[in-house]
Chains A and B, each alone.
Chain A
Amino acid sequence: MIEQALLKVEDLAVHYGDYVACEQINFELFPGEVLGVVGESGSGKTSLLKALSTQLTPDAGRVEYFSDIKGLLDLYELPESQRRQLTRSEWGVVHQSPRDGLRLNVSAGANIGERLMENGERNYGSIRQQAETWLENVEIDIDRIDDMPTTFSGGMQQRLQIARNLVTHPKLIFMDEPTGGLDVSVQARLLDLLKKLVSQYNLSVIIVTHDLAVARLLAHRLMVMQRGRVVETGLTDQVLDDPQHPYTQLLVSSVLQP
C-alpha cells in the first residue's frame, strides 16, 4: 500500500515581475515527515514557503493537500474562505520574527486562544484551560498567561508562537527560520522542543533555514535551492555527508567548525 502524500507540489513558480523567485519546484511531503529547505539568502526559500502556505499566490503550478476531513484539495482552486479556514485549523505558520506571528497587544493566553475562538470555541473556561496546557507544553511558566508577549524574551516569544499554532492540532506546519536571531543555547532548547512536539503530535513540517545544523537536527529530508531552483534533494545525512551538486558541496564546506 502506498501512503497518501499530505502535500503534493507540481511545477510551482513564483515571479516578481521578470525576476524569477523560484520555479519548477516538484516534491511530495508525507505525514510525519520533516522537510528542510536550505540555500543561501535570495535563493527563493521564503518565496517557496509563502507560496505553499497561501501567503502568496504562485504564478504557475499546483499545490495539492490531502485533508483527513475534506479529502484531496487543490489549494489554489479552493474558494478563498475555505483556504483560509484550512490555514487556521489544519495548518500552522511559524514566522522568523515572532512579531509577525504574534498579536502583541493581547496577552499570551489570548494569543493561544485566538485560533480556538476563530474556530468557533465560545467557552472561556475551556479556552483558558487549553491555553494553560499549551503554555506548559512549550515550557512557559503558567503564571505568565496574562502577561503581554512584549514582556517575553525572544526564545519565549518563539515558543509562544509555536503554542499558538499547535493549539488546534494542525497536521502541517510551515516554519521560516524559527531559530533566527536566538543565541545558541536558546536555539538548542527550541530545537529540542520542536523535535519532541513533532514526534508527539506526528506533525509534518516544512522548515526553511540557512543553518545546516538546524537542518541536520530536525529534517528527515533536504531540498537544496540555488537561484530559485532545486539543485539537490535527498535524505538529510546523505545530502550533508555526501553532497553531489557543486553548490551543495560549497554550502557544506562553508560551515565553520568550532
Chain B
Amino acid sequence: MSDPDYNFAYLDEQTKRMIRRSLLKAVAIPGYQVPFGSREMPMPYGWGTGGIQLTASLIGLDDTLKVIDQGSDDTTNAVSIRKFFRRTTGVATTEKTTEATLIQTRHRIPETPLQKGQILIYQVPIPDPLSFLEPRETEARKMHALSEYGIMHTKLYEDIAHYGAILHTYDYPVMVNDRYVMRPSPIPKFDNPKMDNMHALQVFGAGREKRIYAVPPYTKVKSLDFEDHPFEVQRWENSCALCGADNTFLDEIVVDDHGERLFACADSDYCQTRQAEQGGQR
C-alpha cells in the first residue's frame, strides 16, 4: 500500500505531465538534451534526483521496479530509492533484471540483456559532453545544434599523446544516431557497447542541471574513437570468484588486512542468478 499522505509517486500530476512531455521530445530527438523544470526532491542533488523524477513520471500501478547502484541492488542508494517508491506508490519491486519493467540505475547497465518493453533510467550528474571543453553554454548549444564535435576528439587525442592509449574509462562520449554526441552518465565504458541497438528504451535525467535526454530502442550508439586507435572496453585477467563469469564487469574487493583481493561481478543479480543455476546443477 502506498502512503496516503503523498500523491502517487510523490510528484504532483502536473509535474509528471510536464516531465513526460519533455521525455517525448527527448525520445523524438535521440541524444538531444531537453531542458525541463526539475523539482526539489526530498534528497540532495547527486543522489539521483533526475533519475527519480523520471521514474516518478513513468511508473504506473502495474509496473515492477528495480533499482541498482553500481550494478548492485543492495547498496544504500539503491535500497533508499527502492524504499522511497515502495512507500509513495506501493508498486512491486524486484531485484531480478528479467522481471523488472522499469530499472533505475546509477553507473551500470545490467549484464542480462534488456528486452523490448523495459525502460532503463539513468541518473546523470553532468549531461553535456561539451562542458569543461567549451566554457560558454551559448556556444556549446550552438555546437550541438550544428553538430560541430571536432573538439571532443582533442580530449581523446591528448590521452593518446600523453599515455599512448585512450584512458577514459567511464562516462565515455558516444555519438547517438549519427547526430548528437551524448554523455552516457558515469557508466564504465565496458557498458557502452550494450547501448547500441538496445531493445529497451534508455532515458537519462539530470536533476541539478535540469536536462532530460533519451535513446529510443534500436538506435545506433557509437563510442567516439580514432581510426587507428579504435574503441576498446576494459578486460580482466580474472574471472568472477563467486560465479566464474569471464565476460562481466568485475569489482575488485580487498578481503583482509594482508591485501588479499577478490574479483566479483558488479551486477549482484546476474552473479546470484548464475550461482543459483550452478548450485542447482551440483
> Which residues of A are in contact with B by a Cβ distance under 8 Å?
80-81, 84, 103, 106-107, 109-110, 113-120, 122-125, 127-128, 145-146
Contact = CB atoms under 8 A, between A and B. Distances in A.
Q: How many B residues are at the interface, by size bracket?
A: 10 to 19
Contact of B157 (A81, A110, A115): A110
Interface of B: 142, 146, 148, 150-151, 153-155, 157-158, 160-162, 225-229
B151 A118 contact: yes
Contacts of B154: 103, 106, 110, 113-114, 117
Contact of A146 (B142, B150, B161, B229): B161
B146 A128 contact: no
Given A110-B161, A117-B153, 20 more contacts: A80-B142, A80-B146, A81-B146, A84-B146, A103-B154, A106-B154, A106-B157, A107-B162, A110-B158, A113-B154, A113-B157, A114-B151, A115-B150, A118-B151, A122-B226, A122-B227, A124-B226, A125-B228, A146-B161, A146-B162
Contacts of B227: 122-124
Nearest to A103: B154
A128 B150 contact: no
Contacts of B225: 122
Contacts of A122: 153, 225-227
A115 B151 CA distance: 8
B226 A109 contact: no
A127 B157 contact: yes
Nearest to B160: A124
A107 B226 CA distance: 18
A-B complex: 8 closest residue pairs judged by Cβ atoms:
A118-B150, A117-B150, A124-B226, A117-B153, A110-B154, A81-B146, A123-B227, A110-B157
A106 B226 contact: no
Nearest to A119: B150
Nearest to B145: A81
Contacts of A120: 150
Contacts of A114: 150-151, 154
Which secondary structure dominates chain B's binding surface? helix
A109 B151 contact: no
A95 to B, nearest CB: 16
Which of B160, B161, B162 has the largest count of A CB atoms less than 10 A from its CB?
B161
Contacts of A119: 150
A109 B153 contact: no
Nearest to B150: A118
Contact of B161 (A80, A115, A118, A145): A145
15 contacts: A84-B148, A106-B157, A107-B162, A109-B161, A110-B154, A113-B154, A113-B157, A114-B150, A114-B151, A117-B150, A117-B154, A118-B151, A123-B226, A145-B161, A146-B161
B130 to A, nearest CB: 13
Contacts of B157: 106, 109-110, 113, 117, 124, 127
A120 B153 CA distance: 10
Give the one of B142, B148, B153, B155 with max A CB within 10 A.
B153
A117 B154 CA distance: 8
A107 B154 CA distance: 9
A109 B156 CA distance: 12
Nearest to A124: B226
B181 to A, nearest CB: 13
A141 to B, nearest CB: 16
A125 B157 CA distance: 10
A68 B59 CA distance: 57
Best-buried of B154, B158, B229 by chain A (most CB within 10 Å) = B154
Nearest to B146: A81
A124 B228 contact: yes
A146 B160 CA distance: 10
A120 B162 CA distance: 22
Contacts of B142: 80
A122 B160 CA distance: 13
A118 B133 CA distance: 14
A106 B150 CA distance: 14
A52 to B, nearest CB: 20
Contacts of A115: 150
A116 B155 CA distance: 14
Q: Which of B146, B150, B225, B226 has the most CB of A within 10 A?
A: B150
Nearest to B227: A123
Contacts of A127: 157
B120 to A, nearest CB: 29
B230 to A, nearest CB: 10
A116 B227 CA distance: 14
Nearest to A127: B157
A191 B163 CA distance: 36
Contacts of A80: 142, 146
Contacts of B229: 124
A109 B157 CA distance: 9
A25 B154 CA distance: 39
A80 B154 CA distance: 23
